[in-house]
Amino acid sequence: MLLSDDATEILGASCFLVASATNTMIIIFILVAFSLVAMTKSIWQFVNMIQMLAYLRWLVEWPANADLGYKCLDFSVSGRL
């Protein structure tokens, strides 16, 4: 059973809205985490934050430039080339 054209448009718009909100919340959480790491001045927490960022690329769909940046972070954290 197929959806009507209106229902398909509403479903597509709501999916885009949820994806945009998720990406925005992730960016906000990243900024909050970086500010907390900077306030505590702990290098170990900073390394853990970079490690979380490196593995974030498996959870969200980012543009190609951001995906390449996350791959580079993953290589720097894991020590691979």
pLDDT tens figures, 47-76: 777 777 777 666 666 677 777 777 777 777
Cα 10 to its chain centre, rounded Å, is: 25
Look at residue 39 in the predicted model and tell me its pLDDT.
81
Task: Quote the tokens at residue 35.
Answer: 């500010």
Look at residue 62 in the predicted model and tell me its pLDDT.
67
Burial 20-57 (b: 16+ CB within 10 A, else e): eeeeeeeeeeeeebeeebeeeeeeeeeeebeeebbebb
Residue bearing the bigger pLDDT, 15 or 1 = 15
Look at residue 14 in the predicted model and tell me its pLDDT.
84
Residue 40's pLDDT band (cuts 50, 70, 90):
confident
Q: What are phi and psi of 21, to 5 degrees?
A: -65, -40
Query: Does the pLDDT of residue 2 top 70, yes or no?
Result: no
Structural domain of 19: 5-78
Query: How many structural domains comprise the chain?
Result: 1
